[in-house]
Amino acid sequence: MSQKLAVNESTSFSTQPATQTQLTTALVDHGSIPIIQNALLHELQASGWSTNLKNYVTQLMRSGECTKYDDLMDRILEEALGASDAANDGHHPSLAIPDQAITQAVKIVKKELDKICQVETA
């Protein structure tokens, strides 16, 4: 990529889908998406989150609590986002994304965005 995408401090990506599309395209073109995915995967694996998720999915499927993919995904998202009391019942580890993984993911996203964006200040 020869030229960086210009954004300014007041850019709102939720109200400007064209800018969001440009950023996503630039990240894809620059090869940043796999870098971000791999960094997050590494942090999740290092924290034991991936193993906890696998074990929990296995438990839900074997017990018959979830028999359909959509039900399984709903349950996992509920657990991961902390909307369920089941994560605190002591029967299985929390599926909340570890703070360390979030911190590292934010760092790598910022690093990749710095490669493709030029932030213009007022």
Q: How far is CA 37 from CA 7, 26, 33, 76, 105, in A?
A: 24, 16, 6, 19, 9
Q: Which domains does the chain have, with CATH numbers?
A: 5-120 (1.10.246.140)
**39-44 long-range Cβ contacts below 8 angstroms, 24+ apart:** 39/104, 39/105, 39/108, 40/101, 40/104, 40/105, 40/108, 43/98, 43/100, 43/101, 43/104, 43/105, 44/97, 44/98, 44/101
Q: Is-contact 92 56, C-beta < 8 A?
A: yes
pLDDT of residue 118: 81
Specify the pLDDT at position 71.
94
- Reported as a single tens digit per residue, the pLDDT across 51-71 is 999 999 999 999 999 999 999
Amino acid at 103: T
Give residue-wise pLDDT tens across range 1-45.
457 777 776 666 666 778 788 889 999 999 999 999 999 999 999
pTM: 0.74
The residues near 5 (Cβ < 8 Å, ≥ 6 apart) are 22, 23, 26, 116, 117, 118
The first and second tokens of residue 99, run together, are: 């703070």
Q: pLDDT at position 90, please?
A: 62
Look-up of token digits 């290092």:
46
pLDDT > 90 fraction of the chain, expressed in percent and rounded? 56
Nearest C-alpha neighbor of 92 from the set 45, 65, 60: 60
Is residue 48 left, alpha or beta, with left meaning phi > 0 and alpha meaning psi from -120 to 50?
Answer: left
pLDDT tens, position by position, 76-110:
998 888 755 555 556 677 898 899 999 999 999 99
**Is the pLDDT reported for residue 117 higher than 90?**
no
